[in-house]
């Protein structure tokens, strides 16, 4: 059962978090181009698509920690420092995405004032958090379950 849960957890992370990180990373440069272009509406479709990908896959991404907790419970590592750090970083990443990245994307899509450079910084923080969680999941510092 552990292998099944771990496989679903990893696949969910790849399928759900991967598209969010890519689409969120693509959004600020596209937004800069749209803002620099004449206001004819071209390019806003791309922004809307990238924003929709981020929103939809962020919701799908809820599956990742659900199966992560189930896997950790099966492995008996819920109290491990590397896992607690991963949970904390995942929570921070979710807050950055939900409170900073998605609202800034919405503002740009709706034509409200927003700063693409600031959005790029928030997106970079989000991506860095996920990269750190990924490394912690692989390295598992201090783990006695083997690498």
Residue 54 CB burial class (10 angstroms; 0-12, 13-18, ≥19): buried
Q: Which helix (H) or strand (E) holds 79?
A: none
pLDDT mean over 18-34 = 96
pLDDT mean over 88-115 = 95
Residue 144 confidence (pLDDT): 67
Q: Would you mind telling me the total number of residues written for the chain in this entry?
A: 147
C-alpha–C-alpha distance, residues 109 and 35, integer Å: 11
C-alpha–C-alpha distance, residues 49 and 128, integer Å: 23
Check pLDDT > 60 for residue 35: yes
pLDDT mean over 122-140 = 95
Predicted TM-score (pTM) of the model is 0.91
Q: Percent of the chain having pLDDT more than 90? A: 85
Domain assignment present for residue 13? The answer is: yes
Check pLDDT > 60 for residue 93: yes
Domain range enclosing 48 = 2-139
pLDDT mean over 43-49 = 91
Domain assignment present for residue 43? The answer is: yes
Q: Where are the alpha helices (DSSP H) in the chain?
A: 2-12, 18-36, 44-60, 63-75, 81-95, 102-109, 116-139
Residue 90 confidence (pLDDT): 96
pLDDT mean over 109-135 = 95
Of the candidates 124, 114, 47, 115, the one whose C-alpha atom is nearest the C-alpha of residue 93 is: 124
Domain assignment present for residue 145? The answer is: no
Domain count, the chain: 1
Domain assignment present for residue 12? The answer is: yes
Check pLDDT > 60 for residue 147: no
Residue 120 confidence (pLDDT): 98
Domain assignment present for residue 68? The answer is: yes
Residue 9 confidence (pLDDT): 95
**85-109 burial code (b ≥16 CB/10 A, e <16):** ebbebbeebbebbeebbbebbeebb
CB 74 within 8 A of CB 1: yes
């Amino acid at each position: 059962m552990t292998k099944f849960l771990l496989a679903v957890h990893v696949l969910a992370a790849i399928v759900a978090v991967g598209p969010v990180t890519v689409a969120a990373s693509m959004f600020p440069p596209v937004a800069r181009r749209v803002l620099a272009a004449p206001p004819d509406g071209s390019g806003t479709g791309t922004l809307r698509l990238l924003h929709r990908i981020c929103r939809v896959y962020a919701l799908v991404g809820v599956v990742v920690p659900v199966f992560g907790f189930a896997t950790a419970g099966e492995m008996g590592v819920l109290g491990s420092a590397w896992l607690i750090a991963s949970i904390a970083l995942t929570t921070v990443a979710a807050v950055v995405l939900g409170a900073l990245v998605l609202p800034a994307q919405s503002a740009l899509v709706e034509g409200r004032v927003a700063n693409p450079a600031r959005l790029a910084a928030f997106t970079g923080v989000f991506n860095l958090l996920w990269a750190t969680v990924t490394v912690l999941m692989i390295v598992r510092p201090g783990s006695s379950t083997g690498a």
